[in-house]
Chains A and B, each alone.
Chain A
């Protein structure tokens, strides 16, 4: 192999290994430890705070499973809010595309409900994150595992 041809072969092998390295990183992501859940959503609702507001998230039916219709309920205490909250569903560390649950006021004051679906990830990872946003106030994350 002459000096002129060597760089081309090295470049070819480098391209291949770089691309398979991307895949290896994805495999490693599959086996790597997932983000720790901080919400036992299968047993009960979860509550967190945004400033002076207390935000309670609940999901039914339980246990919370992927690929089925779910009812999301958010209750807010600590003050009035001018806009309806919403929930963005996603997986920590993996871009799954936008999945927003639009909430509507329910019969109970300062409680909002909406329908949504948590999709299944073929990687086998089961940790999901629901980001509840109170427009113009802030947002808070609830991290939990789902049943596949």
Chain B
């Protein structure tokens, strides 16, 4: 229930731009499976976090260790969205974009390329969802607090992990309808003259990406 209310009340605003960016990136390809995989990945990550917190029976011990990682995920998400937007505009060719990438980012650029319209492998949305599930988020923290409490009340570590996993998966499932709705709204296959809309969307994606980078650096 909390996931549903938070989904429509909070997630649409915060994660909506990510979902829109991913939808635009599909450029008219079917969006159902990519978004289902993205949301499945996100929910799986919540379940894993729930297991950790439920097993530890402490949210604060968990929070001590993940702050830096979440900051990195937020900045990386911003960069990803900016690169996607830049690639979509066609103003700069993707070969130029990735030629400028640092050598240490070879693996990352290979992953990014899988998401670009040319290759766009739907299965990539699952690992993407797994990673983006780590984005810092107030309602997720609140749900993890509840998972920690169920862990405290459980008789042992395993029970705590299972209880935490169950709670967080339920939370994640509750957030899916809102984000799925956003993805359906931005599925523009039915629209003619989509290219102009994609160009506008690409420019907005770069603004969104910059915003995520800025938030991540401030986090």
Which residues in A have some Cβ–Cβ distance to B below 8 Å?
1, 5, 8-9, 11-13, 15-16, 19-20, 22-23, 25-27, 67-69, 91, 94-99, 117, 119-124
Contacts and interface: CB of A to CB of B under 8 A. Distances in A.
B138 A120 contact: yes
A99 B139 CA distance: 10
Interface residues of B, number: 46
A69 B14 contact: no
Contacts, number: 105
Given A97-B2, A97-B143, A122-B137, A5 B13 contact: no
Contacts of B5: 95, 97
A96 B136 CA distance: 13
Given A9-B196, A23-B16, A95-B10, A119 B186 contact: no
Interface in B1-58: 2, 5-6, 9-10, 12-14, 16-17, 20
B5 to A, nearest CB: 7
Interface string B190-202: 1111101100110
Contact of B14 (A12, A26, A67, A117): A26
Given A23-B17, A97-B139, A99-B142, A124 B186 contact: no
A5 to B, nearest CB: 5
A4 B186 CA distance: 21
Given A26-B14, A120-B141, A5 B186 contact: no
Interface string B201-219: 1001000100100010011
Nearest to A96: B138
Given A95-B5, A124-B218, A20 B139 contact: no
B9 A23 contact: no
B16 to A, nearest CB: 6
Contacts of B186: 15-16, 19
A69 B193 contact: no
A133 B204 CA distance: 44
Contacts of A69: 60
